[in-house]
Chains A and B, each alone.
Chain A
Amino acid sequence: MAMSLALLASAVSTALGASGDTNRFVALQLKVTATEVTLMQALQFPGKAKPEPKRQGLDYVILTAEGTVVSRGSIENPRFERACTEEQPGSGILTQSTSTLEEAITVLRLPVDPTADSIEFFKSPDSGASPTQAPQFLGKVSLKTP
């Protein structure tokens, strides 16, 4: 009988461990304009968030409530759309076409981190920009569930 109770206790403990699983990621759906980044919705999913491919366009900094940097990254600016098209089909010779949208949406996926309090967005500086030039601030989004 004592053994049965022990097994039962073990099973309950495992179930509680699963429900407290931190192996989740959050998808921040963002609206991006020339001057602002705002949160449209935040969704949580089970699983790990793989690192997003390194892009430039929008830089972000994840901060604790005390303002300590948790991590940094950058993603492509979704406002700038681009197409590589062949000058003549089959020629192989490419040319670029671009269009800039007034606003666009993008999704940034991040691991759930209880220490993360907020995320700040900046416009990525060009490689030719002066190191002393402050990056353009585009917005701050709270990562805490109300």
Chain B
Amino acid sequence: MNITWSSRFRVVRLIQVLIAMAVGIHVPAFGQAAMMDLLPNGPASERINIVILSEGYTAAELAQFRTDATNTLAALFSNSPLSGYQEHFNAFAISVASAESGSDHPSRGIYRNTYFGSSYDNAGIARYLTVPQRQPVYDILYQFIPQYDIVVILVNDTEYGGSGGRFMTISKHSLTLEIARHELGHAFASLGDEYTTGESSGYELPNATQILNRSLTPWKSWIADATAVPTPVSPTNDTSVGLFEGAHYNAAGWYRPKSNCKMRTLGVDYCEVCKEALVKAIYAQSSPLRSQEPAAFLANLVAASSQTFRVKTTTPPSRPMEIRWILNGSPMSETGSNLVLSAAQLNPGTNYLQVNVADRTSLVRSDPTALLQASSTWQVVLEASSQIRLERPTRLQDGRLVFNVVGKAANGMRIETSSNMTTWTPVATYGPMDGTFSITNSPANGSITIMRAVSLP
């Protein structure tokens, strides 16, 4: 019996579904997945990779998904600080078709056969939209982009809803984009919620602390001396960073940095402390140093020559990247991305050239682990362009003199003779050499006893 590949696939699929039904797990509804670059900025290993997955889009709706994914990405980057740091990110849209459009709404008896099986009405809350099984999500990520960092499941349903966690799930309702920006603070920068209702986990967070000591608080560099601690909520303190009581699902005993912030209320900007955490999270995964030339650690310079060293960095939003060059431990005056190093600046032998780059953004005041900095070092060996010596002079029985010229003469050399060490007469000229070169003076002339090799300039 001949079975076509498509019918074999259907048989396998049927078996998968039957097994899944028997053991009660979700099996994705059909779909040939494909990935599209939305924001290509470099190798996945060196960038932060945002992946937007389609859910509840039929094959006929996948073109719309690509538009929706593009709009979602634009919304994620619409606020500071991410708006100024886009070049640290790649973004991809993975299209996978669902058998049916939309999502489940169990409270209304609406069920859709979708790839990831998303559903509203979780935990008794209509707007709690999530996917029940993570395995199909991981399978897609393994297949296309195992170096995923931020995963957004975009559900083709216009009803307001979403959820956070390892995978962010959002619907197409316009208000969910603000939820997505809030959830990004959790997923990407490990920020905590600053509102007071809910179940506390008890862990200290970059923007929530139980420490009511000005000098020990995690965001002490942002608190002005004149700001009272704890900091009362009042119009005069609206723009101050301090220790405001009420955060992390507790009305008392936990403190937040600012009266209001996106991690407390939607529609508000991130506060200074949350922006700092986001910028540091970016640099924790993506270096400010993009590339360097020469790429190799070891660079050889020949005397009387020069070499250009280059670094390519990212472009911070507020001020230029600080670039400092250091030669053998001494800072140099150059501050650009290119440095022309001449042999005259080097010591004979081995030298070390280092370049340090740093984003001195005002968004970050505390960077104890130097996340916003990167450096690169070259070992630069200064080679003499011409350094030759004579070795093993031997008088042959017929009177001729044999000797070796050893070393490097980049532009060639000339053999000269003299009888008085004052006047020298050329005997022969040779091209560039590097190594050992045997010379035999000819014809035999026993009277010549002084010879030298001169490297040509």
Contact = CB atoms under 8 A, between A and B. Distances in A.
Interface of A: 27, 29, 43, 45, 47-51, 53-57, 76, 78, 80-86, 89-99, 104-107, 109, 124, 126-128
Contacts of B265: 92-94
Given A81-B130, A84-B183, A97-B128, A127 B199 contact: no
B198 A86 contact: no
Contacts of B135: 105
A45 to B, nearest CB: 4
Contacts of B210: 127
B193 A29 contact: no
B193 A81 contact: no
Contacts of A80: 201
Interface stretch (B8-16, B162-170, B354-362): B162-170
Interface stretch (B51-59, B95-103, B141-149, B297-305): B141-149
Nearest to B138: A107
B199 A94 contact: no
6 interchain residue pairs of minimum CB distance: A96-B198, A126-B202, A83-B163, A48-B45, A92-B266, A47-B45
B202 A127 contact: yes
Contacts of B162: 83
B134 interface: yes
B285 interface: yes
Contacts of A128: 202
A130 to B, nearest CB: 13
Contacts of A27: 142, 146
10 contacts: A47-B43, A50-B149, A50-B285, A51-B284, A51-B285, A53-B188, A83-B125, A92-B265, A95-B198, A127-B203
Contacts of A99: 122-123
Contacts of A126: 201-203
Contacts of A107: 138
B352 interface: no
Tell me the dominant secondary structure on chain A's binding face.
strand
B201 A84 contact: no
Nearest to A91: B266
A94 B147 contact: no
Contact of B195 (A47, A82, A96, A97): A96
A98 B123 contact: yes
Contacts of B202: 126-128
A106 to B, nearest CB: 7
B206 to A, nearest CB: 9
B332 interface: no
A112 to B, nearest CB: 13
Given A90-B175, A96-B199, A105-B135, 14 more contacts: A47-B146, A50-B45, A50-B48, A53-B187, A53-B281, A83-B123, A84-B186, A84-B193, A91-B266, A93-B195, A93-B265, A94-B266, A96-B198, A106-B134
Nearest to B268: A92
B179 A95 contact: no
B267 A78 contact: no
A94 B123 contact: no
Given A50-B149, A86-B266, A96 B142 contact: no
